[in-house]
């Protein structure tokens, strides 16, 4: 089984990225041959600062390695180090109906926000399809918001196979329902575009402040709260604390007598401990960038072997060879 996923280097990674995508992906390394990459080509559709892209790409590499990605087991690389993927994007684009792309939520959301779209943003799902299909991937672990893009990938692969004969493996999205949507500090989906994130490796003081700013209602501490399970801090606490602790705080809130300030303090403490060893590992890695760059170079070399094989297969099928 080949498992593939990517993450854009578009800003600091947050708890939504961690629980929705990184941790499931890291756990899956045990179950098959995993290919994980930094989607720097994709980031070009919405980030236009080269220095920022360089910095973010390195940050994603450090974050992933610190959180437990094992480069002995997993092929870890930068998307742009496998330029074959852009060639496959063209081949796939020619069998992709415009309507399929016009229906994509993430594209429509960006239009609705008033972003003036470039061709890259429109073609984003085709590049993503190439990312997935070029490694004959079977399983794609992502958060729920990326599910449609994996479905588009399937549609494109099926179309190509129908047109040119069996060429691509049809992949399956894999979504962890229990963390499909991690809420942000305002209760919407945690997302860097909403400014409601809690970073994985945030600075201590700033993160404490951020957690203390999680939106609560105005009920007094004494009041029992029958809806304790829907409290944002409880939901986040359940992710970073032992199950027992999460349940205990939920019960105390439900019964009345637990103040929101104390609840958020507990959340901060558990959050800080949860990432303590990863934080230490990250400091070590950051002092050893030669190693990190070597991991990415080795990953790209391995990924390219597979990518070339699949692109050749597709070119042959389409009559380019
Ligand atoms: P953002 O919304 O902050 O821009 P991305 O779209 O770059 O995050 O998401 C990267 C990965 O993390 C994707 O697989 C996505 O599904 C997952 N993800 C992002 N935010 C969340 C969230 N709040 N809950 C669960 N998964 C998430
Ligand atoms: N679009 C994904 C995101 O924003 C990142 C991504 C690019 C990806 N290519 C991929 C994810 C291929 C899974 C598979 O999160």
With a 6 Å cutoff on the Cβ, whether 146 touches ligand 2 is: yes
Q: How far is CA 208 from the centre of its chain?
A: 24
How much distance in Å is there from the Cα of 190 to the middle of ligand 1?
Answer: 7
Distance (Å, whole) CA 174 – CA 137 = 12
Cβ of 42 less than 6 Å from ligand 2: yes
Measure the CA–CA gap between 251 and 138, rounded to whole angstroms. 41
Q: Are 258 and 230 in contact (CB under 8 A)?
A: no
- With beta carbons less than 8 A apart as the criterion, state whether 4 and 131 touch: yes
| Per-residue pLDDT tens digits of the chain, which is 321 residues long | 999 999 999 888 999 999 989 999 999 999 999 999 999 999 999 999 999 999 999 999 999 999 999 999 999 999 999 999 999 999 999 999 999 999 999 999 999 999 899 999 999 999 999 999 999 999 999 888 899 999 999 999 999 999 999 999 999 999 888 777 899 999 999 998 889 999 999 999 999 999 999 999 999 999 999 999 999 999 999 999 999 999 999 999 999 999 999 999 999 999 999 999 999 999 999 999 999 999 999 999 999 999 999 999 999 999 999
Among the bound ligands, the one closest to the CA of 146: 1
**Taking the mean position of all CA atoms in its chain, how far away is CA 48?**
20
174 DSSP β-pair partners: 141
Residue of minimum CA distance from atom 9 in ligand 2: 128
Distance 114 CA to ligand 2 centre (A): 23
- Relative to the alpha carbon of 149, which ligand is closest? 2
Whose tokens are 């994985």? That residue is: 200
- Token couple for 186: 């305002």
The residues, any chain, with a CB within 8 Å of residue 27's CB and separated by 6 or more, are none
Distance in angstroms (rounded) separating the CA atoms of residues 44 and 39: 9
Tokens 């939901």 label which residue?
235
38, 66 Cβ separation under 8 angstroms: no
Distance (Å) from CA 30 to ligand 1 centroid: 22
By annotation, the residues acting in catalysis are 110, 189, 192
pLDDT of residue 36: 98
**Which domains, from first to last, does the chain contain?**
2-182+289-317 (3.40.50.620), 202-274 (1.10.240.10)
Answer yes or no: are the C-beta atoms of 207 and 243 closer than 8 Å: no
Distance (angstroms) between ligand 1 centre and the Cα of 50 equals: 22
Q: What residue owns the CA closest to ligand 1's atom 8?
A: 191
Pocket flag, ligand 2, residue 40 (CB < 6 Å): no
**Residue from 108, 100, 119 nearest 157 by CA:** 100
Q: From atom 12 of ligand 1, which residue's Cα is the shortest distance away? A: 17
Ligand 2 pocket residue status of 39, Cβ below 6 Å: yes
- Residue 99 and residue 96: Cα distance in Å, rounded? 8
- Length of the chain equals 321
pTM above 0.85, yes or no: yes
Q: What is the position in ligand 1's atom list of the atom closest to the CA of 145?
A: 16
Closest C-alpha residue for ligand 1 atom 15: 143
CA of 36 to the centre of ligand 1 (A): 15
- The number of C-alpha atoms within 13 Å of 62 and in the hemisphere containing its C-beta is 23
Residue 58 near residue 20, CB atoms below 8 Å? no
Written as six digits, the tokens of 210 are 């951020």
Cβ of residue 132 lying under 6 Å from some atom of ligand 2:
yes
Q: Which atom of ligand 2 is nearest to the CA of 124?
A: 1
Q: Could you give the C-alpha distances from 168 to 83, 88, 159, 164, in angstroms and in order?
A: 19, 12, 10, 10
pLDDT at 259: 96
Q: Which atom of ligand 1 is nearest to the CA of 143?
A: 16
154 CA to middle of ligand 1, Å? 21
Task: Choose one of 6, 46, 181 to mutate for the ligand 2 pocket test, by most ligand atoms within 8 angstroms of C-beta.
Answer: 6
Tell me the C-alpha distance between 311 and 102, whole Å. 26
Nearest ligand to the C-alpha atom of residue 190: 1
Q: So what's the pLDDT on residue 313?
A: 98
């Amino acid at each position: 089984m080949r498992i593939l996923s990517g993450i854009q280097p578009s800003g600091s990674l947050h708890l939504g990225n961690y629980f929705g995508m990184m941790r499931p992906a890291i756990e899956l390394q045990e179950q098959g041959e995993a290919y994980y990459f930094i989607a720097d080509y994709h980031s070009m559709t919405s980030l236009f600062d080269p220095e920022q892209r360089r910095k973010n790409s390195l940050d994603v590499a450090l974050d992933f390695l610190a959180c437990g990605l094992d480069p002995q087991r997993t092929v870890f690389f930068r998307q742009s180090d496998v330029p074959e993927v852009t060639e496959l994007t063209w081949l796939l684009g020619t069998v992709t109906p415009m309507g399929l792309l016009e229906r994509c939520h993430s594209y429509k959301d960006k239009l609705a926000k008033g972003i003036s779209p470039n061709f890259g943003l429109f073609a984003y799902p085709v590049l993503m399809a190439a990312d997935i299909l070029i490694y004959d991937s079977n399983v794609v672990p992502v958060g729920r918001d990326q599910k449609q893009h994996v479905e588009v990938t399937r549609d494109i692969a099926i179309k190509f196979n129908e047109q040119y004969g069996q060429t691509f493996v049809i992949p399956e999205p894999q979504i962890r329902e229990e963390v499909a949507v991690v809420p942000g500090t305002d209760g919407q989906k945690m997302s860097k575009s909403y400014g409601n994130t809690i970073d994985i490796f945030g600075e201590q003081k700033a993160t404490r402040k951020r957690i203390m700013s999680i939106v609560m209602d105005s009920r007094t501490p004494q009041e029992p709260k029958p809806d304790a399970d829907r409290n944002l801090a409880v939901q986040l606490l359940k992710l970073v604390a032992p199950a027992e602790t999460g349940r205990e705080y939920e019960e105390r809130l439900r019964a009345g007598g637990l103040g929101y300030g104390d609840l958020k303090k507990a959340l901060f403490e558990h959050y800080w401990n949860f990432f303590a060893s990863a934080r230490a590992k990250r400091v070590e890695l950051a002092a050893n960038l030669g190693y990190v760059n070597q991991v990415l170079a080795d990953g790209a070399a391995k990924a390219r072997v597979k990518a070339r094989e699949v692109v050749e297969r597709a070119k042959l099928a389409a009559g380019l060879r």
